[in-house]
Amino acid sequence: MFFEYPKILWLLLLLILVIALYIFRQIKGHSPSLTVSSLSQWSAPGGGMAKALRHFPFIFRVIALSAIIIAIARPRSSSSFEKVDTEGIDIVLAMDVSTSMLARDFNPNRIGAAKDIAIQFIAERPSDRIGVVVFAGESYTQVPLTTDRPTLINMLKEVECGVVDDGTAIGNGLATAVARLKDSDAKSRVVILLTDGVNNCGEISPQMAAEIAKTYGIRVYTIGVGAEGTAPYPVMTPFGVSVQQVEVQIDEALLKDIADATGGKYFRATDNTKLLEIYGEINKMEKNKTLVDSFAVYKELFFYFAYIALAALVLELLCRFTISRKIPY
């Protein structure tokens, strides 16, 4: 609660003088008196209560004056409200699920690290619609654009290598991701394409897919995953699984061209930490547009004090004509 005219409240100090004057008059006995031969008629039980009740009119008058002063000062209360309008971004994660993603230069492997860090990225963007496209020798939509975070995360956890023909069809994967975004009404549309290899199959070339993305105004961030040089890769042998060092081959020039053509950026991740940093950088680059409209609602409170003043004045009059009525002289 606050007051529109707080200086008026200084008038409350005058009530101290009024109370002091009243007490002084009571002590000095300035009230009119009546001389009688005997007090027996007034010494009945309850006389002390009667003496106390005679002060009630003055008490009610002080309450009335206080309430009137406070009401004139115009007490008010305010409540602040904020209207938050967040404009989300539509994002499709295009993830390579070829068998080379089983390489163990990441922890636990490339596909496991890619899924875990993508889940963290999803959790940090609650206002965006996010979908998942996976590709190897073919591509398909794992999750369409959605804001249903539990379903999205659960479906992403189910992504595994070897569910489609092996290979690396980067063009098909990007084209499928673009198809999920081309009819979106979002002002910002983004593809995050993650792969660890070289395009070696598919009906659509990566360059053509990049041109389609550019036509629709879709930015593509490309991420090449894999250690420098060689990486430990599990190979099935007649004696079981054997881990061998396999040369890492990433077509970085192609990934950079795709990103440059669409207004995105190319990143190279060599371990879990670097991949986490890359997603963090993309998260900062693709900011949501948030509009906050703040306004205050005021409520007038003076009428409460006006009612108190009116009630106090009525009670004062009732007391003066009943329990505090004086004998004329």
- Please indicate, yes or no, whether residues 98 and 78 belong to a single structural domain of this protein: no
- Please indicate, yes or no, whether residues 202 and 326 belong to a single structural domain of this protein: no
Report pLDDT digits (tens) over 185-218.
Answer: 888 999 999 999 899 999 999 999 999 999 999 9
Q: Crossing angle, helix 56-72 and helix 14-28, to 10 degrees?
A: 170
Helix (H) or strand (E) holding 194: strand 189-195
CB 199 within 8 A of CB 258: no
- Please indicate, yes or no, whether residues 105 and 251 belong to a single structural domain of this protein: yes
33 within a domain of the structure (yes/no): no
200 within a domain of the structure (yes/no): yes
Phi, psi of 19 (to 5 degrees): -65, -40
* Count of domains for the chain: 2
Range of the domain at 69: 1-24+52-83+297-329
Average pLDDT (89-118) is 95
CB 79 within 8 A of CB 65: no
Report pLDDT digits (tens) over 27-50.
Answer: 776 555 555 555 555 554 555 565
- Please indicate, yes or no, whether residues 262 and 234 belong to a single structural domain of this protein: yes
Q: Provide the residue type at 304 as one letter.
A: Y
- Please indicate, yes or no, whether residues 79 and 99 belong to a single structural domain of this protein: no
Residue from 301, 313, 298, 300 nearest 66 by CA: 313
228 within a domain of the structure (yes/no): yes
62 within a domain of the structure (yes/no): yes
Taking the C-alpha atoms of residue 186 and residue 88, their distance in angstroms, rounded to an integer, is 7
CB 189 within 8 A of CB 89: yes
- Please indicate, yes or no, whether residues 77 and 96 belong to a single structural domain of this protein: no
pLDDT-wise least confident of 48-52, 69-73, 106-110, 154-158:
48-52
- Please indicate, yes or no, whether residues 10 and 154 belong to a single structural domain of this protein: no
